[in-house]
């Protein structure tokens, strides 16, 4: 009897990547401002999620001298199906990184800065201490700059990590849910949906004045009512700001794009989200967590101030 299992098996045909529609295409970055921002980041030895995650808005943002700094290295301890950041064993934490981030903010003249990181499950505090040091360095060097952080979930270390960061008082605390609960096992296997919700609830419990923010990607196979439920879950967690953007497949090995959601559909999702009471909503195919983050923060702050002014004294 022949051992068929030992014979080479034909490979399954690789699914073709969908062609991007016109509304999702962007021009290659070529401006002088783009080059200056790139050179500054590399000169200071800083990583950016703009490059590491292949953000489609990098040309526009870097031309305006806006960059999202990614601290704690460029190697992640997780392997999410949507993410283009390298996976493996990260290097040691750079003790000079906080001062370099503050120097970059000063040289770029940033009014608002977004700081994110890779997952660092290898560190005792998940990297929370480095977020604190970066916030403190920014407060010393550019005290007028408002600070937005986008953190991982600090799996197994969440309570202490969130407490430490909240005490450093960033202006916005962002943590992305990324997708609907049903898709977590395949899209975000190292995380738990309700743990991420609890993280954002915990921020508000410690300091209600800090704005909380979260985002989801569309086009991964989610259903419309599932997205509506995520919005409701976010509002139950008192999340202030929702971002919604189109998922783009970084490489053939990553999760497939199941659908290119139309701008009209994004507008409809945005309208529903606003009706549910978010202070700020950004919903479009090219929306990303840090895209136009400074303008959105100023608008969100103005909305809250207007609401507070209307309350009876």
**Is-contact 128 160, C-beta < 8 A?**
yes
Nearest to 88 by CA among 78, 101, 100, 96: 78
State what percent of residues in the chain have pLDDT above 70.
86
Residue 27, Ramachandran bin (φ over 0: left; ψ between -120 and 50: alpha; else beta):
beta
Q: Where are the domains of the chain?
A: 30-307
Confidence of residue 108 (pLDDT cuts 50, 70, 90): confident
Determine which of 30-44, 85-99, 201-215, 286-300 has the lowest per-residue pLDDT on average.
Answer: 30-44
Average pLDDT of the segment spanning 84-101: 94
Q: Write out the two tokens for 192.
A: 């738990």
pLDDT of residue 12: 40
pLDDT for the residue numbered 28? 56
pLDDT value at position 292? 82
- Confidence (pLDDT) at 62: 61
**Global confidence as pTM:** 0.88
pLDDT tops 70 at residue 59: no
**Residue 123, pLDDT score:** 97
Question: Do the Cβ atoms of 145 and 186 come closer than 8 Å?
Answer: no
Residue 41 — φ and ψ, nearest 5°?
Answer: -60, -40
111 or 174: whose pLDDT is higher? 174
Residue 189's nearest CA partner among 57, 79, 300 is 79
The pLDDT mean for the chain works out to: 88
Whether the CA torsion 183, 188, 191, 197 is positive or negative: it is negative
Tens-place pLDDT, residues 223-254: 999 999 999 999 999 999 999 999 999 899 99
* Helix (H), strand (E) at residue 69: strand 68-71
Could you give the CA distance from residue 3 to residue 156 in angstroms, rounded to a whole number? 46
Per-residue model confidence as pLDDT tens digits over 281-313: 999 999 988 878 888 999 999 999 999 998 886
Residue 11 has pLDDT above 90, yes or no: no
- Indicate whether 181 pLDDT > 50: yes
Secondary structure (3-state) at 38: helix
Instruction: Please report the DSSP string for 214-225 in residue order.
Output: EEEEESSS--HH
Identify the pLDDT of residue 1.
36
Dist. CA 3–CA 86, nearest whole Å: 38
Q: What pLDDT sits at residue 6? A: 38
Model confidence over 183-239: pLDDT tens digits?
999 999 999 999 999 999 999 999 999 999 999 999 999 999 999 999 999 999 999
Give the Cα separation of 216 and 218 in Å (integer). 7
3.30.830.10, 2.102.10.10, 3.20.20.70, 3.40.640.10: CATH of 30-307: 3.20.20.70
Instruction: With a cut of 90, say whether residue 32 has pLDDT above it.
Output: no
Confidence label for 36 from pLDDT (cuts 50, 70 and 90): confident
Question: Distances in Å between the alpha carbon of 196 and those of 118, 215, 219, 246?
Answer: 16, 11, 21, 21
Q: Is the pLDDT of residue 279 over 70?
A: yes
């Amino acid at each position: 009897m022949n051992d068929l299992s030992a014979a080479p098996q034909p490979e399954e045909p690789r699914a073709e990547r969908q062609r991007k529609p016109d509304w999702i295409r962007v021009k290659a970055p070529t401006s002088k401002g783009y080059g200056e921002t790139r050179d500054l980041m590399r000169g200071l030895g800083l990583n950016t999620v703009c490059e590491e995650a292949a953000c489609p808005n990098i040309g526009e943002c870097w031309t305006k001298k806006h960059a999202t700094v990614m601290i704690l290295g460029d190697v992640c301890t997780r392997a999410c199906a949507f993410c283009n950041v390298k996976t493996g064993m990260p290097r040691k934490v750079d003790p000079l990184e906080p001062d370099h981030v503050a120097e970059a903010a000063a040289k770029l003249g940033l009014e608002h800065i977004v700081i994110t990181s890779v997952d660092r499950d290898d560190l005792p505090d998940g990297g929370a201490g480095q977020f604190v040091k970066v916030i403190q360095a920014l407060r010393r060097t550019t005290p007028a700059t408002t600070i937005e952080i986008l953190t991982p979930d600090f799996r197994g270390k969440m309570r202490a990590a969130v407490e430490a960061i909240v005490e450093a008082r960033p202006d916005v605390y962002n943590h992305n849910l990324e997708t609907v609960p049903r898709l977590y096992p395949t899209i975000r296997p190292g995380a738990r949906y309700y743990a991420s919700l609890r993280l954002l609830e915990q921020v508000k419990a410690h300091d209600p004045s800090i704005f909380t923010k979260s985002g989801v990607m569309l086009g991964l196979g989610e259903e419309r009512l599932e997205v509506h439920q995520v919005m409701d879950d976010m509002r139950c967690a008192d999340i202030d700001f929702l971002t919604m953007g189109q998922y783009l497949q970084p490489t053939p090995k990553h999760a497939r794009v199941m659908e290119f959601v139309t701008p009209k559909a994004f507008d409809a999702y945005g309208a529903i989200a606003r009706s549910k009471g978010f202070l700020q909503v950004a919903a479009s195919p090219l929306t990303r967590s840090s895209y136009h983050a400074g303008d959105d923060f100023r608008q969100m702050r103005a909305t809250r101030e207007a609401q507070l002014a209307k309350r009876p004294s």
